[in-house]
Amino acid sequence: MTLALMGGSLRKASLNLKLMGHLARGLEALGAEASMIPPEALRLPLFDGDLPAPPEVLALQRQLSGLQGLIIVSPEYNAGIPGHLKNAVDWLSTLTPSPFRGLPVLLASASPGAFGGSRGHLAWRATLANMGAITHPAGITVPLADKNLAEDGTPLEARAALEIGKALDAFLDFTSRLASRP
């Protein structure tokens, strides 16, 4: 199974980037091929519908094409989608073929707050549904992540680690079921 992880904030010490690394290792331990699209690849020019897609966007489209699933690891900015991620999605939504149509997506977030970035998942679900992605009903949230994630992104709380493992397992099952449908 070929998956990608996309997201993180643009900060070097991003909690979501740490979580993304942990999730990639977890997927590989479960036998999936997981590649990470780093935040630097999402430093794109602002979307302008009057301009053709820049080469960086076309490169991102190629990275996302042919995937069996995508995990978006997104911080929550003011209960919504961070600008750099929304900008990337807006550019990609204008391309044919759309890398999102029919693509299974799992949402994940880490936050120093008590909600773990869960409010941002609501905005993501509406955006992804509009683009034809199939968002997994579960999601991964890590509240109090500044205290609950080790330097490498490993959850320090046993229950969080268990829940993340269950969510990854469920997402792999979800993507394989969708891939096997005629």
- pTM here is 0.95
Which residues are paired to 22 by β-bridges? none
Other Cβ atoms less than 10 A from the Cβ of 157: the count is 14
What is the DSSP code (8-state) at residue 98? -
pLDDT of 181 over the 80 cut:
no
Report the share of the chain in percent with pLDDT over 90: 91
pLDDT digits (tens, 9 = 90+) for 94-132: 999 999 999 999 999 999 999 999 999 999 999 999 999
pLDDT digits (tens, 9 = 90+) for 111-120: 999 999 999 9
Q: Show Cβ contacts of residue 137 under 8 Å, excluding neighbours closer than 6 positions.
A: none
Cα angle value 21/93/95 (rounded, 5°): 110
For residues 170 and 138, the answer to whether their CB atoms sit within 8 Å is: yes
pLDDT of 8 over the 90 cut:
no
Domain count across the chain: 1
Average pLDDT, the chain: 94
pLDDT score recorded for residue 12: 84
Question: Measuring CA to CA, which residue among 18, 22, 24, 30 is closest to residue 4?
Answer: 24
- Give the CATH number for residue 72: 3.40.50.360
Cα angle value 100/108/87 (rounded, 5°): 50
Question: Phi and psi for 101 in degrees, rounded to 5?
Answer: -60, 115
pLDDT score recorded for residue 182: 61
State the residue range of the domain holding 16: 2-179
